[in-house]
Amino acid sequence: MTKPQLTLILGGAASGKSTFAENICFQQGKPKVYIATAQAFDDEMREKISNHRSQRGPDWLTIEAPLDVVSALSNCTSGQIVLLDCATLWLSNLLLADQDIATASDAFLAALVTCPAIVIVVSNEVGNGIVPDNKLARQFRNAQGQLNQLLAAQANLVIQVTAGLPQTLKNEAIILK
């Protein structure tokens, strides 16, 4: 079985990872799907989401999926390129909703395998910071690190973005089509 065309874009907060991922999508010339995991609980986040939508432009089909990325991925087709932004917010949403992280992560990884579209997943690299001082933050850091490792193992291409500069960490030479 051929591996899916999956790209993982990692980076810290405000590293340029989302813009880099969007640029990959623009270059493909395919119908673009944006799976959004963010939730707007305050004015600052509403503004950030609005700015992201404006930056992307009107050519995207946006699917709001703060918890159910599996269903969102199942509705994508082979002619599309999908940007899931981001796995970090999705994982945070699951933790705060007291969901089973292992089961949800397994379902997410399985959905990536069966999704016929090219998929780019954006995720935060959280392993470069200090050890958090509280249980929830440590639980999140550990879960995010584990999810990133599983995504990287499954991905054909893994790119770390720092200060807007991409560095390829893994490339299995599958050309995006």
Q: Which tokens in the block code for residue 31? A: 């119908």
Give me the catalytic one of 30, 52, 53, 141.
52
Distance CA 101, CA 175 (A): 32
Q: Which tokens in the block code for residue 125? A: 């690299």
Find residue 84's DSSP bridge partners.
35, 121
HEC states along the chain? CCCCCEEEEEECCCCCHHHHHHHHHHHHCCCEEEEECCCCCCHHHHHHHHHHHHHHCCCEEEEECCCCHHHHHHCCCCCCEEEEECHHHHHHHHHHCCCCHHHHHHHHHHHHHHCCCEEEEEEECCCCCCCCCCHHHHHHHHHHHHHHHHHHHHCCEEEEEECCEEEEEEECCCCCC
52 in active site: yes
Task: Just list the catalytic residues.
Answer: 52
